[in-house]
Chain A
Amino acid sequence: MANKTLLVAQREYLDNVRTKTFWLGILAFPVLLVISIGAGWVLNKLKETQSYAVLDPTEDRLGERIERAARTPEVTAFAKLLQDQAKQLPESLQGRRQGLLDGFGGDPQAPNEEAVQRLQKLMLDLPASDLDAAMRANKGFDSARKYQRRKLADLGLEGKPLDEQRKALAELVQKGTLFAYFEIGTDPLRSLADFKYVSNNLTDDALRSWYADAATRVVQKLRLASSGVDPAVAKQLQERVYFREQKVGSSGAAEDVKTGEKANKFAPVAFVYLLWIAVFTAAQMLLTNTVEEKSNRIIEVLLSSVSPLQLMAGKIWGIAATGLTIVGSWVLCALFGVWLAPRLITGLDLPLLDIVGNPLYLISFVVYFFFGYLLYAAILVGLGSVCNSLKEAQNLLQPVFLLLIVPLVSMMFIVQEPNGTVAKVLSYVPLFTPFTMMNRAGGPPEVYEYVVTGLILVVSVVVAFRAAGKVFRVGILMTGNPPKLKEVLGWLRAG
């Protein structure tokens, strides 16, 4: 008896797993994931250097100060790199390290201008590969190569009348030699109206806002100075309140929240999403396959050899194996990624890898996939057995899909309150148990909750299997219109 179920399951599994599209589909997911993460990074890399010029009619050379302010973060970051991570530096820099750092003494946030200029020049002269290697490990270098200022002197415009300069710069923008040029307002103390940004690219706003941030800082300083406020006082006035994030650790005392820890709490969302996709890919596969088998009438041959229950069980287990193959492949991809990523990219955010490799998440993922699938499989196979075409099946599926929105909608909410009332209640609704419990894994829930919800889930699976069997037995040979709900209820009672 069981032997025939196994035969059906085996055929079902091989039928799915042997096709190339199946494996392409499986691989598509992690590949897309990597691409979508990597694409932004790559695109940013590919972005061309944007050249700009600055038209500065002010007497006290405001443009130069803005430029320095704009470049300060990247230079200080670089200085910090020279200081802290000497060993990672290219050899060409090792020897000159100490000299370069002169002037960065006491407060690294306020280096002297000469030191900044010296370092900035070096950064621009460094071979791209060296700088890139340094940049990967540290944030704050983004603008170093992305935006490049062309001096008016280099453009042959130094000392010419303002109108002529404007005209020439406009031509350069038109030709594409310059991405944009800035014009500094003449009286920044009183009015900001004549600050201008001239470019033909209306969509890429990054350069403008980057430069505007720096200009704001400079102008603020100017205005504060002119109203006689002590810069130290001004800085103090402008300071924002920052609450240092802490939590109560296992020792019972408050301790700092580590990087990645927060991400770890949010990670279940990604797993819930994957779980959702996996459960429905598999359950839908089962439905499609049942309806197809019914509509091409192969079902009758099968039923002359196996009982309807054997057939149903065989199909469910066969597709369960298919689904586990999908989920297993994803888990393997994740583990492989965790292993490969640090070897491929240096200085990667390691906490992310801890999340992906978190055994609680991975095991919950596989186990909840299995039981979630079984529950939905029983429902969909029952549904599929009474339908003659996929179209009919889709109509009947709509109410099921309505239910399915719940775990998606509540996903963010539950992750924020993993032990809240909503999360707890949903955990005990068998249709939502797999998703909710996965969602709460960051909490994590109490052991008793795992046990009780698990038991409810298993009992529901058994009940759903029984009910599906009764419907399947009658429905699978029916032709014509799908039965009314009343009839189906009749079958359930009769069996």
Chain B
Amino acid sequence: MDHALTLDRVTKRFGSFTAVSELSLQVPKGCIYGFLGQNGAGKTTTIRMVMSIFHPDSGAISVLGHPDAREVKDRLGYLPEEKGLYKKMKTAEIVAYFGKLKGMDRSTANLRARELLTRFGLGDWLDKKCEAMSKGMGQKVQVLGTIIHEPELVILDEPFSGLDPVNRDTMRDLILDMKRQGRTVIFSTHGMEHAEQLCDYVMMIHKSKLQFAGTLAEIKSGRERGIQLDYDGDGRLLQQLPGAQHVNDHGKHAEIFLQPGHDPQQALRWLVDRVVVRRFDYREPSLHEIFVRTVEEANQRLLAAGVTR
């Protein structure tokens, strides 16, 4: 199979600290791939290794079929987690500058920068300095700088953080657009709903180790199903549901897992009597639930193994 990115038992240490441990991963071409994990789990280090900003201590990385990512730097697009712009530069200039750094010729880069900014609603800002922009606009400018050279593989570190809903939608459309054009998009996120809605594949890394990787369906299959409930009323009552093993209450939405042998139908009947049920669904757990459980289980395993960090 043709892969945009392959990691083979990649390990990276900083002194005595292991940031990424024996990570193997394959990202097929043309998909959207989500990198999940807590802060400090090793996502950014992995991404930096892919971008050949860091070099792995052991293992091999192949990007777009090349063993050395430096050879294909110009075919990659990268939006780092912490986003900065040159404050004194004009937006069109900086987007074009990023394009030129990726090997675009001057006039094409200038033209395309203006075109992109205009298309994404920043037409009035072309000749304004970056320092005048809001955070959301700045982030948009950065993303445009990431994709101006039409990279085959785009890696976005936390592209949604700090964006308002409208800009999140713009970002989402941009990612979907890239997929439609046959590009491969990898993004890391803390927002499980984004991963769930957008990604063909997801992987999760916890404390430097890969926990799971695959399509959403693969990851969810075989996992214990749960009740997805939208409701109005007193959430505390949900905890008293007979046979409830675990309740994630969000106030208006709750995810409830039952002990083995308990019937969701009976639970529904019980719930209808106590809260206003707006939606009731019995299905695979959400990615959110899987994430939280994975973290818990992994921590317990580590504790049991006597590993302390």
Contact = CB atoms under 8 A, between A and B. Distances in A.
Contacts of B85: 296, 298
Interface size class of A (residues with CB under 8 A): 20 to 34
B100 interface: yes
B33 interface: no
Interface stretch (A237-245, A301-309, A395-403): A301-309
A304 B53 contact: yes
Interface in B40-90: 48, 51, 53-54, 70, 73-74, 76, 78-80, 82-86, 88-89
Nearest to A8: B101
Given A15-B86, A15-B89, A307-B70, A7 B101 contact: yes
B272 to A, nearest CB: 52
Interface in A279-309: 293, 296-298, 300-307
Interface in B213-250: none
A477 B76 CA distance: 20
Contacts of A306: 101
Contacts of B11: none
B101 A298 contact: no
A143 to B, nearest CB: 55
Contact of B53 (A15, A293, A296, A477): A477
Contacts of A11: 86, 89, 97
Nearest to B74: A305
B114 interface: no
Contacts of A15: 86, 88-89
A169 to B, nearest CB: 66
A481 interface: no
B140 interface: no
Contacts of A307: 70
A302 B101 contact: yes
B206 interface: no
| Interface size classification for chain B | 20 to 34
B82 A305 contact: no
B34 interface: no
A251 interface: no
B88 A4 contact: no
B84 A298 contact: yes
A119 to B, nearest CB: 65
A19 interface: yes
Nearest to B70: A307
Contacts of B70: 307
B102 interface: yes
Contacts of A19: 88
A138 B102 CA distance: 67
Nearest to A297: B82
Contacts of A296: 84-85
B139 interface: no
From DSSP, what is the main secondary structure of chain A's interface residues?
helix
A305 B84 contact: no
B98 interface: yes
A4 B53 CA distance: 17
A307 B70 CA distance: 8
B101 A303 contact: no
Contact of A297 (B74, B80, B98): B80
Contacts of B145: 301
A300 B86 CA distance: 13
A301 B97 CA distance: 11
Given A15-B88, A298-B84, A298-B85, A305 B53 contact: no
B73 A304 contact: yes
A300 B80 contact: yes
A15 to B, nearest CB: 6
B189 interface: no
A304 B52 CA distance: 8
A477 B81 CA distance: 13
Contacts of B208: none
A304 B78 CA distance: 7
A304 B97 CA distance: 13
Given A4-B101, A11-B97, A305 B86 contact: no
A487 to B, nearest CB: 10
A297 B51 contact: no
A4 B89 CA distance: 18
Contacts of A18: 88
A304 B76 contact: yes
B86 A301 contact: no
Contacts of B184: none
B84 A297 contact: yes
Contact of B98 (A301, A303, A477): A301
Given A304-B73, A304-B78, A305-B73, A7 B100 contact: yes
Nearest to B155: A304
Given A298-B84, A300-B82, A305-B73, A7 B51 contact: no
A301 B100 CA distance: 13
B142 interface: yes
A339 B139 CA distance: 53
Nearest to B82: A297
A300 B85 CA distance: 11
B86 A298 contact: yes
Among A4, A8, A298, A477, the one with the most B-chain Cβ atoms within 10 Å of its Cβ is: A298
Interface in A460-495: 477
B157 to A, nearest CB: 9
Contacts of B98: 301, 305
Choose among B74, B84, B98 the residue with the greatest number of A CB atoms under 10 Å from its CB. Answer: B84
Residue of A18, A297, A305, A306 ringed by the most chain B CB atoms within 10 A: A305
A64 to B, nearest CB: 72
Nearest to A314: B101
Contacts of A7: 97, 100-101
A303 B101 CA distance: 10
Contact of A300 (B53, B74, B88): B53
Contacts of B84: 293, 296-298, 301
A306 to B, nearest CB: 6
B89 A301 contact: no
Contacts of A477: 48, 53-54
B16 to A, nearest CB: 14
A18 B86 CA distance: 14
A11 B145 CA distance: 15
29 contacts: A7-B97, A7-B101, A11-B86, A11-B89, A11-B97, A15-B88, A15-B89, A19-B88, A297-B80, A297-B83, A298-B84, A298-B86, A300-B48, A300-B80, A300-B82, A301-B78, A301-B142, A301-B145, A302-B101, A304-B51, A304-B76, A304-B78, A304-B80, A305-B73, A305-B101, A307-B70, A477-B48, A477-B53, A477-B54
The 3 lowest CB-CB distance pairs between A and B, nearest first, are A296-B84, A297-B82, A304-B78
Interface of A: 4, 7-8, 11, 15, 18-19, 293, 296-298, 300-307, 477
Given A300-B48, A306-B101, 17 more contacts: A7-B97, A7-B101, A11-B97, A15-B88, A296-B85, A298-B85, A300-B53, A300-B78, A301-B80, A301-B142, A301-B145, A301-B146, A303-B51, A304-B53, A304-B80, A305-B102, A307-B70
